Structure 1
């Protein structure tokens, strides 16, 4: 008689454990049915998903997928968190971004869950320096940390904030936040730099009189927004941080003091596991930099995570709420100290009150209702996350070393090394986006041509002149804009007739596929009636392979005779007379749609 384990829950206790090799053998058997003759590790490789930076996500992770000891939360290498308690005391810092002098919006945010402010300051790109006092009217500066982002106006903005602290009686040790000095980040954004000496003086001032203020921000967003990968974002941040350590120690600060003056800003994307791994790897890598630089007590990286502007779409912007929710979850699980949720209408202009409310409540729900902050390093111990963290750390360290060999971050920026590497990465990703291998919901997949546009007031002009800013939706957005202009000029969108052959069971799948694809380019599909009555100038056959063999050439001929200038077939390329082109999963949708609009006279 079999004796059950004490807990009585191991239902397969009487069966031997399955081995990794047995699983690979079963996978190989399934793949053989699809025509792939592989075995062993090859079978597992066939199911792996390639990532950027030469990494891949494997289909199965086990205890064999080892990684270095992550240590304990709050202790070097800080992989599991910069603080021993993690975010379990009050959750992470909910940091809302403001770009205009609107004291009412600032106070409303602080009264409804926001715990710190991120202020974009600039004469033409944000809040004027002389409007800081008015913007912070009603704000208790000893309770609400302030993070400045002022570009080449950092010194006057910082001096004004310090004046406000003194004027309002805020003790030096009570001031919290960052003055936001980031000369190299500003150069990456604009192609221009500003003097290091005055902002290094701010760091000395913070060290002496305002221990809760950090003078410098190492902003990795310029590299993320230029199309960089996770490893490139990390590598640039490390190289920038090292450059600031050199400058600050050269200005008289100790390594410990210099490390304490830096805050790091990273993008959080809807790729939740990659974001978690990126934040964990960033802390490990910076701890290594601090260690070899001689810092023992200040190697814990302070992190500010921002939901990615690259992933935000202008079409169907409501989906951005879902993207930012997943990104915020990843930032929290990854151990970010502060998190900014960009409003869902961020890509359209200034957010309205509803968008700001949804943004701040995203963090509140994850902290208070999902209890995400009650666990320290929730992803720790996951074989997948630990392995991905380790692999990403090595890829980032390799890129960091490349930048150092190029003379450091400043030299690599000015020589074009950084821009070239980021552009190559974005070009590869753009190809995947164009082929819809990386789908964008509401844009390249399941677009809604009849959606009402969301209109917002224009936001202040973003700094430019340096690295480009890219978006995942940009190629399809250009196509949709052409269609919108055609609609405004003619009263109708360009159309394509979808000719469904045979019963619904035969044509529904490819009819749906073709409809989604053409709508992604702003081309309205017509499925009812005859081609002559559709108002379309081109057509696409939709059915099964078997019916194509029987009817494709005949129907294509009829469509051609009825005036169709181009006949597509939804399916893999074949040799059908009368068919001009084929649309299928993995085809270059952007090229197909752009050419179709050209032929339809859509400028």
Structure 2
């Protein structure tokens, strides 16, 4: 079957010619593939177009399974919530609980049917002992990491507990600290290899050692990056296993990113986690945890847990995402992205190994991840990396959702949310006056842009209404009670009116006069524009308004 038989054939050069024509209308006369390409934090070039020539020679192993294990996390001992999850679609449990809470939390749970993954930190051995005492046939993972009695637990699992693994190689700390995808992959490779060395030195065979490891990765709303990351992880680990003389597919647990979650406008997190879950399923994860939409606020409520598990149920049962193994396989873009991500992750892994392994290279790892985090923070501050509901399209009238306090993760949205909290804490929400010059058609676009930016910090905006009379605008400013103003209009009207309006605002007591757009005008202190440092604008505005930070 030739699906495109009735269409004229086209070439990459045809596309380039058409794209160049469009770019030239925008004043860009350059190679369209270079002009439209972007780079990831790992330095992977994302091209605007891919064809069969981009397919890499080396492809990773495809997952052998279809569908995935629906794994819900519980950090509060609540037997009723655990049973409700298992009765309504959840197929395994991830318990971040103290050892003393495990028995009562798991009361009534059939441990031979519902796998349990532990997260107990320094008390892993104690938690493992409690879990193993609850009955035969326990499945899941004891959650040991480097130094957490991993070798002893792995030997016991290999000898006595089929279906139970001892070790989790956790990539979430690297992701949550700000690492890029290849950095997360390279670090987990290094941790995994460190475990293999320790286990085989303790007498386990390579096959037994490989069988004790499960890998945990972050899934984000960047669906193609997540799909490629999970596919690259399998490719990389298959190479490690081959070099070690073993075989077997990497077991993957994907968790929707904590760093991408927001405390403000938290219901938007439902969209983020749906995208991330979809990507994890398409990428071939063996188990997926969808974090509740209110996870950034603390302990989730019953509704949030229900929506989290039903997100997975919808994707599995209604959308049929789990019915095809490796649906992205063969995609020119995804295959190329997978290969390039794997190459950079392998290079990073080799650098860690050359520095003495993951433990000896902790300083190197921290410095490299910190540099990536700084680049991302700069992009967030300049809104090159927008956060819907926070840095873009915030809801200034939102009533914050409250939950019992939980753990702290360095989330991308936090700098904006701290300013929103500061604005909420004032007796009256601080305001910025938008001096809209000329008719509505002339100032609407820039007034909307300025309002969106100031709302991202929790500031109110007041407008003068259409008109060009400087004294009328200054009078409206004085009546507003604001101390900071922003001019909003077209470049043409700025040329005639920006200076007299700014001077009139000064006489009316304005401490700071911004201008939304281009140009230098007397009386204007600074400009707002696409790509400006929005966080610095907001922090400066709080200072100008006399609000202590």
Shorter chain as denominator, the TM-score bin is over 0.9
Query: 1:497, 1:92 → 2: CA distance?
Result: 53
* 3-state SS of 1:410 partner: coil
* 3-state SS of 2:451 partner: helix
Report Cα offsets for 1:200-258 as digits up to 9, x if no partner.
11111111111201100000000000000000000000000000000000111011100
The residue that corresponds to 1:480 in the other structure is 420
* 3-state SS of 1:315 partner: coil
1:128 CA displacement: 2.3
* 3-state SS of 1:164 partner: coil
Work out whether 1:302 is the aligned partner of 2:302: no
1:11 CA displacement: 3.3
Query: 1:176, 1:338 → 2: CA distance?
Result: 14
Query: 2:262, 2:45 → 1: CA distance?
Result: 26
Give matches, 1:146-545, under 5 Å: 146-165=116-135, 170=136, 174-183=137-146, 194=147, 198-296=149-247, 298=248, 300-413=249-362, 416-459=363-406, 461=407, 469-486=409-426, 491-528=427-464, 530-545=476-491
Report Cα offsets for 1:296-354 as digits up to 9, x if no partner.
3x2x1000000000000011111001100000000000000000001011011110000
1:478 CA displacement: 2.0
Which of 93, 100, 105 lines up with 2:81 in the alignment?
105
The residue that corresponds to 1:56 in the other structure is 45
Report Cα offsets for 1:30-85 as digits up to 9, x if no partner.
222222222xxx22110112211111211111111121242xxxxxx42x21x2xx
- Which runs of 5 or more residues in structure 2 are unaligned? 466-475
Query: 1:211, 1:115 → 2: CA distance?
Result: 18
Work out whether 1:590 is the aligned partner of 2:530: no
Query: 1:156, 1:22 → 2: CA distance?
Result: 65
Question: TM-score of the superposition, structure 1-length normalised?
Answer: 0.87
Contact 2:484 2:544 in 1 (8 A): no
* 3-state SS of 2:54 partner: coil
Question: TM-score of the superposition, structure 2-length normalised?
Answer: 0.96
* 3-state SS of 1:54 partner: coil
Query: 2:399, 2:422 → 1: CA distance?
Result: 16
Work out whether 1:118 is the aligned partner of 2:87: no
* 3-state SS of 2:217 partner: strand
* 3-state SS of 2:94 partner: strand
Which of 545, 555, 567 lines up with 2:513 in the alignment?
567
The residue that corresponds to 2:470 in the other structure is none
Give matches, 1:570-581, under 5 Å: 570-572=516-518, 574-581=519-526
- Which runs of 5 or more residues in structure 1 are unaligned? 1-5, 71-76, 121-126, 184-193, 463-468
* 3-state SS of 1:133 partner: helix
Work out whether 1:24 is the aligned partner of 2:16: yes
Query: 1:348, 1:598 → 2: CA distance?
Result: 27
Query: 2:2, 2:378 → 1: CA distance?
Result: 52
1:283 CA displacement: 0.3
1:139 CA displacement: 0.3
* 3-state SS of 1:96 partner: strand
Aligned pairs, how many?
A: 538
Query: 1:136, 1:565 → 2: CA distance?
Result: 61
